[in-house]
Amino acid sequence: MSAAPPRRSRSLPGRVVGLMTIALARIVTGVRGNWQGCTPSPEPRIYFANHASHGDFILIWTVFPAGLRARTRPVAARDYWSAGIVRRFLGRDVFDAVLIDRDNVTRSADPIGHMGAAIEAGSSLILFPEGTRNTTDRPLLPFKSGLYWLAKRRPGVDLVPVWIDNLNRVMPKGEFLPVPFLCTVTFGTPLRFEPGEDRQAFLDRSQEALLALRPGEGEGR
Amino acid sequence: MSDHPAIALFGGILGVLVLASLVGWILGRRAGPEGSAAIDNLNARIRAWWVMVVLIGLSFLAGKPGVIILFALASFFALREFVTLTPTRRGDHYSLFAMFFVVLPVQYYLIWIDWYGLYSIFIPVYAFLFMPILVALRGDTARFMTRIAEMQWGMMIAIFCLSHVPALITLDIPGFEGRNLLLIAFLVIVVQSSDVLQYVWGKLFGRHKVAPRLSPSKTWEGLVGGIASATLLGACLWWITPFGFLQAGLAALVVALMGFLGGLVMSAIKRDRGVKDWGRLIEGHGGMLDRLDSVVFAAPIFFHLVRYGWTV
């Protein structure tokens, strides 16, 4: 039950909407990619980022070189992205998301196996280990364990921490109108699962790697 | 643009840029393969100057719509840099949205239709009253005064003051019809060359700092030399303006002084925020506001100088 559906090539309307989305993201946020700890690579990787806004993976996508964009898939909740024709189109045709079942009682497929199979098929993944959008004043919510299980299953894969700065101000949860703010996406040094590392230690380590990318107070954005 | 002064002026500017590029290229070759940070920065700046001159030239060719759109976009980028460095809250969301998508387009529209009576009070009076109403309606009172004040500042600097540059084309100056774009060129050339000349004079002779805590690179020698030479340059450009030689020199003096003081004020804000640059829009120059800080302060003063001195 763990085979991921083969990567689809995105449909023409999907690609057009994708490019329009990127153009809009650039106009509103003037986003800059800051490859601080690594450079773009076609190798399958797991990008894990802080999650404060619906636009988070769009922003990561926007700063990617085009070749990388085509082979990177966001991991998203099936219940949310299957509701309604617009979200279905966005999730499937535009972003080619790896959809997973959040509800562990009713789900039929194992989400970790699903993600692992997508990596096996040559895709990189974008993951939000907080599990939900952070609307608190804290910089990060505690990580869910999915990142650990996935890293354990695919120990040879680079895990790249990605800090998305300021997007929560562009469109806070519950608002529908975007306000232009300058945003940055910072890519840190990749980390890997270490054999025998215990769950909490691994999650703490990846969380610290992500927090370390936060622009300090007054350092400029 | 078909008249001789404009062609001569742009020819002259292109000549200066070609010369600067040549000097930059020679310096770069002399520095050898390992290069030097200062020369790399110089060359980045010269490249950015090319882009800016080409953009301004193209907008001039398009006439009034081109210039208004160019400065409306500049306001948009400047305002985005300003609010990014301002600690806003969730409750400011509507008013921030209104700043970008209502106040900014309305101000430039009023300039388009040349409604001086309204565009000169639209932001200082009407936006001044309505923004705090929008924030109050959201009910978040934390740091209320600070938040409002900072938004008002952003609108005044990035929209109101900057919009006085394209407003120069609406002025009716007898005997100067159809050449108002050259007033914009005069303002921009004097302000920007004053910045560059202050830097050059400061590097050559700078000893005594003007405001060491604010801006360690600004010296009295740079200030006096830069402003004097920019004044002379402005006077020598009298033939593109409705002014005589002495009048052009006086106007250039006022513009260069306001530009210097504007740079000082904007540096103070950057200091307060703990940043070096407003943004990273233009390579070698920082953000839009880093390049426009002196224009912003000089524009309304120059506009009123011309309006009350030379229009009917």
Vertex B36 angle, CA B31 and B39, to 5°: 85
Where in A110-196 does DSSP place strands (E)? Answer: 124-127, 158-165, 184-187
Residue A53 pLDDT: 85
Residue A160: beta bridge partners? A47
Sequence-ordered list of residues with C-beta below 8 angstroms from that of A54, at least 6 positions apart, any chain: A133, A171
Alpha-carbon distance B265 to nearest alpha carbon in chain A (angstroms): 18
A219 touches chain B (CB under 8 A): yes
Residue A202: CA atoms inside 13 Å, Cβ hemisphere, count? Answer: 21
* Tokens 């024709």 belong to residue: A85
Distance set, CA B288 to CA B44, B192, B198, B200, B266 (Å): 15, 13, 20, 22, 12
Residue A106 pLDDT: 67
Size of interface A-B (CB pairs under 8 A): 45
Element at B264 (helix H, strand E): helix B245-273
Scanning B239-298 for CB atoms below 8 A from A yields 273-277, 279-281
For B196-211, give one letter per residue: b (16+ CB within 10 A) or e: ebbebbbeeebeebbe
Q: Which of A94-108, A162-176, A184-198, B152-166 has the highest mean pLDDT?
A: B152-166
Interatomic CA distance for residues B253 and A137, integer angstroms: 49
The helix/strand/coil state of B52 is helix
In tens, the pLDDT along B284-294 reads: 678 889 889 99
Sequence-ordered list of residues with C-beta below 8 angstroms from that of A208, at least 6 positions apart, any chain: none
Residues of B in contact with A182 (CB under 8 A): 80-81, 84, 279
3-state helix, strand, coil in chain B (%, to 5): 75, 0, 20
What percentage of residues in chain B have a pLDDT greater than 70? 98
- A30/B80 touch (CB, cutoff 8 Å), yes or no: yes
What percentage of residues in chain A have a pLDDT greater than 90? 51
- A219/B90 touch (CB, cutoff 8 Å), yes or no: no
Q: Which of B15, B13, B46, B40 is nearest to B27 (CA)?
A: B40
Distance set, CA B34 to CA B25, B45, B256 (Å): 14, 19, 37
Q: Which two tokens stand for residue A211?
A: 């927090």
B87 touches chain A (CB under 8 A): no
Q: Answer yes or no: are the C-beta atoms of A18 and A94 closer than 8 Å.
A: yes
In tens, the pLDDT along B27-66 reads: 888 877 776 778 888 888 888 889 889 999 999 999 999 9
Vertex B310 angle, CA B308 and B312, to 5°: 80
Interatomic CA distance for residues B106 and B83, integer angstroms: 19
Mean pLDDT estimate for chain B: 91
Residues of A in contact with B77 (CB under 8 A): 30
Sequence-ordered list of residues with C-beta below 8 angstroms from that of B108, at least 6 positions apart, any chain: B68, B71, B72, B75, B163, B166
Residue A217 pLDDT: 43
Mean pLDDT of B199-211: 87
Residue B157: CA atoms inside 13 Å, Cβ hemisphere, count? Answer: 24
Q: Answer yes or no: are the C-beta atoms of A77 and A159 closer than 8 Å.
A: no
Residues of B in contact with A30 (CB under 8 A): 77, 80, 279, 281
- A220/B275 touch (CB, cutoff 8 Å), yes or no: yes
| Residue A221: pLDDT over 80 | no
Closest residue of chain B to A178, computed from CA coordinates: B97
| Residue A108: pLDDT over 80 | no
A89 touches chain B (CB under 8 A): no
In tens, the pLDDT along A161-202 reads: 999 999 989 988 778 889 999 999 999 999 999 888 899 999
Sequence-ordered list of residues with C-beta below 8 angstroms from that of A136, at least 6 positions apart, any chain: none
- A181/B84 touch (CB, cutoff 8 Å), yes or no: yes
pLDDT band, very low/low/confident/very high, at A7 (cuts 50, 70, 90): low
pLDDT band, very low/low/confident/very high, at A1 (cuts 50, 70, 90): very low
Sequence-ordered list of residues with C-beta below 8 angstroms from that of A158, at least 6 positions apart, any chain: A38, A43, A45, A46, A190, A191, A192
What percentage of residues in chain B have a pLDDT greater than 90? 67
In tens, the pLDDT along B206-239 reads: 888 888 888 888 889 999 999 999 999 999 999 9
Mean pLDDT of B131-139: 92
Phi-psi region of B304 (alpha: psi -120 to 50; beta: other; left: phi over 0): alpha
